[in-house]
Structure formats: C-alpha cells, structure tokens
Amino acid sequence: MKNVALYILAGLLGGLYALSFAPVPSGMLQVSCLTGLLLLLSVVDKPVRAVWAFTVMWFCAGLYWLHFSMHDVGGLPIWMSVFAIVLLSLYLSSFYVLAVYMWRRFFVQRQLSSDLLAFPALWTAAELARGYLFGGFPWLASGYAHIDNPILRGWFAIFGVYGVGFLAVVFAGGMAFVARQLFKKQRDTKALMLTAVSMLVMLGLGWAARGLSWGEKSGAPISVSIVQPNVSQTIKFDEAEIIKNTHRFIDQSIKSNAQLTVFPETALPYPWTMVPEPMLEPLQAALKDRVVLMGGVGVDAAKGEFYNSGMWLSGQGDIFNPPRYDKIHLLPFGEMVPWGFNWFIKMMNIPLGGYGYGVSRQPFELKTNGQTTRVGVNICYENEFGEELIKAWAQGDAQAPNIWVNMTNLGWFGSVNQSTAQQQHLYMSRARALEMARPVIVATNTGLSAYIDAAGTVLNQLPADEASQSTVQVQGMTGLTPYVGWGNAPVLGFISFLFGLSVFLRHRQGMDI
C-alpha cells in the first residue's frame, strides 16, 4: 500500500508539472515537482514505475486538448480519442523512463554527482531525443516553463530551450540532494557546501544573463496588421463558408493601411490557383507599397504537389503566382501520415495529409518607406523547432530575418476556455523571440494572436475566440545570439561531458560526492 500511495503521488506531481507550462508558466512549480520526483525515486521499490506515473500524467494533462481535434472535429469515439492520447503519452514517457532506468542502473544514488550531473544529463538527453527522433515532438519541453523565470530566461539566447531545461533540472537535483542530507544523521558537510556554492554561482550567472542584449534595431518600425478571423473548424471547409471568407479576407486586405497584413495558416483552405482572378485584381491595384501575407495552399503543377503555404502578395509582384513560403516541417497525422496509420486518419472526417515538404527558409523582403525589412515565416508546428528556424541565418545575419511571423490555426484544439494549447503555443513563440532576439508576430485563427518583442514580452494580444484585427508597430532587429550561432551543439556536448564525468566519478574508488 505504501508503494501504491507513492506511485499515486508521483502521478499527482506529473499533473502539477503539466500545470507549470500553462495557463501561466511557473518555473518554480516545475522545479519543485522535479525535486519531489527525485526524492520519491529514493524511496520507492520500483523507481521506473514512479517515472511512468509521473511522465504519463504530465503528458496526458498537458496534451488533453488533442481530444477536441480527434473527437469534436474528427468525430472519433471518445474512447478512441482518449486511447490515442494515452498511447502518445506512453510513447513520450518512454524516453524518460529509459533515462531514469540508466540513471538507477549505472549511477549511485544519494550522491552529489548523481543528482547534479548524471540525472540532469540523462533527463535532458531524453528531452532532446523526443524532440528529434521520428520527426520530433518537443511540445512541453521543460524549458518553456521558465520564460518568466528571472534566473533562467536570460539563458534562452545562449543555450536555447533545452539548455534552460537542463539548468532547471540541475536546480531540482541540488534541492533534492540538500533535502536528503538534511534528513541524515551524518551529513556530508563538504558536499553540502559544494552544492550551496554551485547553486549560488548559477543564480548569479543567471541574474547577469537576463541583462544581456543581443540585438540592435534595424531601421524604423513597420506597421503590421494581425488578422484573427475566428473561423470554426466545423465549418472551415464548407463551400459557402469558403466563398464568404474569401470575399471577407480580400476585402480586409484591400482596406488595411498597414505595411504588412498577416492572416493565419490556411485562412483560404484551397489551392491558390483556384482563387477567382476578378477578386485578386482589385487587391493588387490596392496594395502598391503594402504587402499581405495570406495563409493558403500552394501548388506546384509540375510536381503535382500541394503545400501548406504563406503567400507573399504585393503590388510589385505577380499576385496570381506569388512568392510563397512552403512549410518544411510537417505535422505528423495532420499534414503527413506516418507509415501504417492511414486507417486511423480515414476514421476522422478531416481533410488531412498529402502536403509536400518545403525546402527554403529565405525571408521575404518588405520594401517600404525607403528601407528593407526581412520577414521570416514559419507555420504552426514549426514554431516548436528553434534549432530549425536558426537555419535562416545560413547566409549570415545580413540575409537573416529582422522579424518573424508565425502563421497558425489552433482552432482544431478547442477554445481558450477549454484548452491550454493556445497558451502553450504562445509561450513557445516567446521562447523563440528570446532565442533569436527577434520580434515575433503570431497570427492564429482563433487565438492567441499576439505581437512579441525581441525580449520575449507580449506587447499586444488579441482577444481569444473572437474575430479581431489589430495594427502594431514592430521594430525589426539585427544581431546574432549565441544560440543562433551554435544551436543545440553546446547542450549536446555538455550533457555528454557530464555523463562521462559521472561515469568517472562512479568508478573512482573512495569518491563519494
């Protein structure tokens, strides 16, 4: 009964861990949950079971909103929707279970090297693995809970979200080690002092890092109009609704006075070649020195492929065959169907899959008022892959984006009152702004649309679940952050070093720190 209670406690800690991401990011809650998990692992008979309980509850509680897309929109039975979420959670949990198994199997617990070196290294390795393998699913990576943490947020520009997550686990390891020592009759004073000094150094460096500035202003601010249509997914693909929205969006584009007007992902959910030319002609005449970035479906007639695209509509270009950004990292089950799962997609009444892969991250150039502002675009799920977005710097900072635009449709996942997906996505956009020192425009169908400055602060947010439009002044930026320069390489190298150091300390006779 004792162990059962402890496994239930582990599950409750996992549920609280999910709450550290949204509706309000809480780094301290997350560190406390991890500390509790480490202490539990010291006393349960089957630590791997405790980790299963913790991580499965973490992902089920953090990703429950997938139910709305599968059941409410797709029409799957409730039991099948729930089963799919549990199955996904089990898959994601397996990375952490393997990490903790290796930790317990190869490293001596209750030692400082185990808590502050081995456990953080292995936990972060699990995060990286699930973010990379089989296309990656980095949603709810631990670092996202710390975008408002004054001690850790400064590290986003240096080590990215995985580096921030690693430091959070180090803090948890230090707290768990101290807690264990306090309950011992014979305390290791030397190890306690070393832990205290290490934590103080980390606190000091983190506080200093938050004051660093990595970017410089580029030209004058540009006016950007963010359009949030609030089209329900249940009628989005209805023919009459499509016709109405096409008229509505083109009319909004013509009337907009902003230098850049941004619509969300697949605002027009059909091939761009099917847009009636008589509707586009007045738009091209009205644009002149303005641009509209419209979510739609790009077409490559030669290859016979369709793309989830952002159309760059300007008065100077060919509006009937416009330049476009084609989404590169497609969403599994949404835009591409993993092998063997066609049967699952066919059970849902949703037009999914079949998109081609884009290849270029070259930013668009907005030329207005005598200046050029480079606009980088990513679509929906791509927002979660900072290591991929920084490829836009392949030709150097002079050719890299001055601002980023994320075009998204989160209408699949319920309203803001039902779902935390919208907040989670917004906080990940804030992390991208911090990593790249660039402002980020988030244009979503139902919310949360926002303007985030280069310091990761939300300066303007549109009301959720309402049709809304807001014009903001966006300051473009230049400059390289360390993360843009080296990506996740330092984190990979660092955790490899710590793992090796942990092995060395484990095998060194007489070393018990």
Alpha-helical regions (H) of 311-403: 342-346, 386-389
The partner residues of 444 in beta bridges, in order of sequence, read 408
Catalytic residue among 265, 335, 384, 435: 265
Does the active-site annotation cover 303? no
Does the active-site annotation cover 281? no
Alpha-helical regions (H) of 107-238: 112-113, 119-132, 156-182, 189-209
Rounded Cα distance between 408 and 233, Å, is 13
Residues contacting 341, CB < 8 A, separation 6+: 333
Report yes or no: 89 and 137 within 8 Å, Cβ to Cβ: no
Distance of CA 357 to the CA centre of its chain: 20
b/e per residue 110-139 (b: at least 16 CB within 10 A): ebbbbbbbbbbbbbbbbbbbbbeeeebbbb
Does the active-site annotation cover 380? yes
Catalytic residue among 60, 236, 335, 380: 380
Alpha-helical regions (H) of 288-420: 342-346, 386-389
Catalytic residue among 327, 335, 382, 384: 327
Strand order in the sheet with 403-408: 364-368, 371-379, 403-408, 440-444, 450-452, 458-461
Decide: helix, strand or coil at residue 257. Answer: coil
Catalytic residues, by residue number, are 265, 327, 380
